[in-house]
Amino acid sequence: MDYHIFVVLALTHAVFATVSPNFNDCRGQFYSSTPPVGLDSLSSSLTPVCHMYENYNNPFFASLYHKGNRYALYSAYILDTQPGDTTGDDQTFRLEPQLVDTRLPQEMNLQPATETAIRNLGLSGTPADLIKQVQAINSDYSGSNYHKGHLNPNADHPDGPGQKATYTLANVAPMHGPLNSGGWRSNEMKVRSIAATCGKMFVITGVVPGNNWISVNGVQRINIPSHVWSAFCCLNNNNQPMRAEGSLAPNNANSVQAGLSIASLQSQLKSLMGVNVTLFKNNCT
């Protein structure tokens, strides 16, 4: 059974997850309030997540979480055109208890607190095993030679809660280190410079599931994406589309195809994943 999780992120332990089907609580994170079409057909293990901070009414971003692969298939957000310093680098990635069972506490917690909550609920099974069935844990990445690659980068948001909200394991996927810190980071910086010329920019960044896995003690833990992709829709001050581009990179080299048309990116994603994909309504035109 899929659980549609509504996530409210806070600086401390006060982080919440509540049922929210079909991105109903965060459609404003998508251009024309329309989530991508096609990607949701890839698996029955996909769960819409709306990430919100504390008592703010506006969600910070949305992601389509893949329980089987243990990462988000994509994250969607509005890029802030005046990002601050990156202050979230020392953040610990947290777990989301309600991915295990919606009766668990709403607070997003570190693994020990999540395991305690599972014991208190009396669920059948070992708490650590129940967690690992549906999500990655921090130690899965240790020694893997892959980065925890942010789909929604902290630097695309101002200093403060917007950056800290990106530090959830639902917003990262295994990325080739030289790509994450090299060509992909440069591509993110270029998109930020373009965003400064827009009235508003909508971004969707995702991955293409691959055939290899991060394994721990012989057990497949996190699928390793074959590619990373991103697309932006830039609006003018009258909320009219003025520019849209995409990027695509193999997740085993430091090489990025940038400046792609949305149609071209969607065509390549169809070739890679076998589904027709529409990232933005009317391709942001």
Instruction: Tell me the whole-structure pTM to 2 decimals.
Output: 0.88
pLDDT more than 70, % of the chain: 86
Task: Give the model confidence (pLDDT) of 141-169 as tens digits.
Answer: 999 999 999 999 999 998 888 888 888 88
* pLDDT at residue 105 greater than cutoff 70: no
Q: Please, what is the average pLDDT of the chain?
A: 87
> 95: pLDDT confidence band, cut at 50, 70 and 90?
confident
3-state secondary structure the chain: CCCCEEEEECCCCCCEEEECHHHCCCHHHCHHHCCCECHHHCCCCEEEEEEEECCCCCEEEEEEEECCCCEEEEEEEEECCCCCCCCCCCCCCEECHHHCCCCCCCCCECHHHHHHHHHHHCCCCCHHHHHHHHCCCHHHHCCCCEEEEECCCHHHCCCCHHHHCCCEHHHEEEEEHHHHHCHHHHHHHHHHHHHCCCCEEEEEEEEECCCEEEEECCEEEEEECCEEEEEEEEECCCCCEEEEEEEEEECCCCCCEEEECHHHHHHHHHHHHCCCCECCHHHHC
pLDDT of the residue at 119: 96
Residues 6+ apart with CB under 8 A from 140: 70, 214, 216, 221, 222
Domains and CATH numbers, the chain: 5-284 (3.40.570.10)
**Closest of 52, 38, 23 to residue 168, by C-alpha:** 52
pLDDT of the residue at 17: 38
pLDDT of the residue at 220: 97
> 3: pLDDT confidence band, cut at 50, 70 and 90?
very low
**Closest of 26, 27, 71 to residue 46, by C-alpha:** 71
* pLDDT at residue 110 greater than cutoff 80: no
> 83: pLDDT confidence band, cut at 50, 70 and 90?
low
Residue 200 tokens, joined: 């508003």
Residues 6+ apart with CB under 8 A from 19: 3, 4, 5, 6, 102
- Range ranked top by mean pLDDT from 43-47, 106-110, 129-133: 129-133
pLDDT more than 90, % of the chain: 68
